[in-house]
């Protein structure tokens, strides 16, 4: 199917005003070591731009993450890992003989700002791909822009699923690659009573809808559910509710994001809710957040991811060493950072494959070539599926004395991605496959 699609004549994208904005633009300037970063370049008209005319020697890409605001605690490191991957590619000769030039924008933990910056990167800067977003709120904010412009986003963070866009490649986990297996593990190892705590936006609320349906199907109980606005640190009332609902202990499933986690874990410890009786499973706490919050407040607690710095693969040893050499020996790596690293490399391979077929300048050809790409990632082997998600090994880690994670559970092989949740009645039975031409909506359909 992929080979057939790659040979077809693809329609050019975009309005006349943008002209060739889908092209892998070779922007003006000589080749450099490492990535070239542009913070806020002046706009060029497509008619005059070297990018539009095909001259020069760079391929321009965008990075869009929160470098300020409540989400900066998590997203700055993702930017670092993205830039590491780009630098490695450039130092190895670039892509099809061209260096990668970076245009970086700050989403500033503000979802409308993410949409504005995405539009700028596409229309003004004429990037050929954007690597970015952390929260599902930011991803949902930019999605209409990418669909309107038929452009390409690589999204590097685990998320709630219930989405399958032609314009997004998801290199973080779908729920069946993180949330669902972690709930199964908790039911078997830690108890059947769950209190759900999350930030008040789409990811935690949708994730908890999935968790409640899964618990109901497997004999667990949801004893409470609470949300905080992003950045809110008033966690004492929630902790009081947890103590009341679980007087003898129980599982806390945590989908808080950003600075709220700092207050939550510090006050959990202050209230005497220790992990031996009140184990917390987090899906947005990784090595970087443990370091920021303090290991004393997190030791013995759990996180579900696909990658931990302690994963033992040759690729991970190389990745960690390279990251520390560039950014400092005291730095740590984590799952979204590794997913961002995967994103850049899969995109690079797709561009090279499209180029080998003489169509590297066609965004549709790159999108088609991305499906089926395999990469030996730090976490282990991954593969991009027709639903624009990748296969991933599932892991659960326990925070240890040094702030890293002891891996206490891992699947024996990568798990295939399932974006439409099979516990939620409204999406049970639905699949997504953008290589399918025999269905009305490849993004959501049921097999006949």
DSSP string, 266-313: HHHHHTT--TTTS-EEESS--HHHHHHH-HHHHTT-EEEES--TT---
pTM of the model: 0.85
pLDDT at 70: 87
If you count them, how many residues does the chain have? 448
Tens of pLDDT, residue by residue, the chain (448 residues): 333 333 333 332 333 333 333 334 333 333 334 444 555 433 333 322 223 223 348 999 999 999 999 899 889 999 999 999 999 999 999 999 999 999 999 999 999 999 999 999 999 999 999 999 999 999 999 999 999 999 999 999 999 999 999 999 999 999 999 999 999 999 999 999 999 999 999 999 999 999 999 999 999 999 999 999 988 999 999 999 999 999 999 999 999 988 899 999 999 999 999 999 999 999 999 998 999 999 999 999 999 999 999 999 999 999 999 999 999 999 999 999 999 999 999 999 999 999 866 554 589 999 999 999 999 999 999 999 999 999 999 999 999 999 999 999 999 999 999 999 999 999 999 999 999 999 999 999 998 7
For residues 399 and 303, the answer to whether their CB atoms sit within 8 Å is: yes
pLDDT of residue 418: 98
Whole-number pLDDT of residue 262: 92
How confident is the model at residue 230, as a pLDDT? 85
34: left (phi over 0), alpha (psi -120 to 50) or beta: left
Residue-wise burial string across 412-441, b where 16 or more C-beta atoms lie within 10 A, e elsewhere: eebbebbbbbbbbeebeebbbbbebeeeee
d(CA 105, CA 215): 40
- Relative to beta strand 280-282, strand 302-305 is parallel
Phi-psi region of 380 (alpha: psi -120 to 50; beta: other; left: phi over 0): left
Instruction: Tell the residue number behind the tokens 């130092």, with chain if given.
Output: 91
Extended beta strands in 83-233, E state: 99-106, 130-132, 153-155, 168-170, 193-199, 221-228
Judge whether 365 and 294 are in contact, CB under 8 Å.
no
Nearest in space to 135 (alpha carbons), one of 106, 166, 114, 149: 114
- Report the candidate in 63, 138, 76 with the shortest Cα–Cα distance to residue 291: 76
Domains of the chain as residue ranges with CATH: 2-174+313-391 (3.40.50.2300), 176-310+396-426 (3.40.50.2300)
Please give the angle made by the CA atoms of 311, 314 and 317, to the nearest 5 degrees: 65
């Amino acid at each position: 199917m992929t080979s057939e699609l790659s040979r077809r004549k693809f329609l050019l994208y975009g309005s006349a005003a943008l002209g060739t904005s889908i092209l892998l633009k070779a922007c003006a300037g000589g080749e450099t070591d490492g990535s070239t970063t542009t913070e806020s370049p002046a706009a060029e008209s497509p008619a005059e731009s070297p990018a539009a005319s095909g001259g020069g020697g760079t391929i321009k890409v965008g990075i869009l993450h929160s470098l300020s605001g409540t989400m900066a605690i998590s997203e700055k490191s993702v930017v670092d890992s993205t830039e590491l991957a780009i630098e490695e590619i450039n130092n190895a000769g670039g892509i099809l003989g061209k260096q990668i030039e970076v245009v970086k924008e700050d989403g500033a933990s503000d979802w409308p700002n993410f949409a504005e910056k995405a539009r700028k990167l596409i229309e003004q800067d004429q990037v050929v791909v954007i690597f970015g977003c952390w929260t599902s709120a930011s991803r949902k904010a930019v999605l209409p822009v990418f669909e309107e412009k038929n452009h390409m986003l690589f999204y590097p963070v685990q998320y709630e699923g219930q989405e399958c866009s032609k314009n997004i490649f998801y290199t973080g986990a779908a729920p069946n690659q993180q949330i669902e297996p972690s709930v199964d593990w908790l039911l078997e190892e830690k108890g059947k009573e769950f209190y759900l705590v999350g930030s008040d936006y789409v990811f935690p609320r949708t994730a908890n809808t999935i968790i409640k349906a899964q618990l109901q199907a497997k004999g667990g109980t949801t004893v409470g559910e609470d949300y905080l606005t992003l950045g809110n640190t008033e966690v004492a009332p929630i902790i009081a509710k947890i103590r009341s609902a679980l007087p003898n202990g129980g599982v806390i499933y945590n989908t808080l994001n950003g600075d709220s986690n700092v207050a939550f874990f510090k006050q959990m410890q202050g209230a005497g809710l220790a992990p031996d009786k009140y184990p917390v499973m987090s899906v947005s706490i990784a090595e970087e957040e443990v370091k920021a919050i303090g290991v004393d407040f997190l030791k013995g607690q759990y996180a579900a991811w696909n990658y931990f710095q302690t994963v033992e693969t040759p690729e991970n040893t190389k990745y960690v060493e390279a990251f520390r050499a560039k950014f400092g020996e005291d730095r740590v790596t984590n799952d979204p950072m590794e997913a961002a690293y995967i994103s850049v490399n899969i995109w690079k391979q797709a561009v090279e494959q499209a180029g080998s077929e003489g169509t590297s300048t066609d965004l549709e050809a790159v999108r088609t070539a991305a499906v089926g790409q395999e990469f030996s990632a730090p976490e282990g082997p991954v593969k991009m599926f027709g639903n624009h998600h990748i296969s991933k090994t599932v892991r659960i880690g326990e925070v240890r004395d040094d702030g890293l994670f002891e891996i206490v559970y891992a699947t024996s092989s990568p798990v295939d991605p399932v974006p439409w949740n099979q516990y939620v009645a409204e999406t049970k039975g639905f699949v997504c496959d953008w290589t399918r031409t025999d269905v009305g909506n490849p993004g959501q359909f049921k097999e006949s």
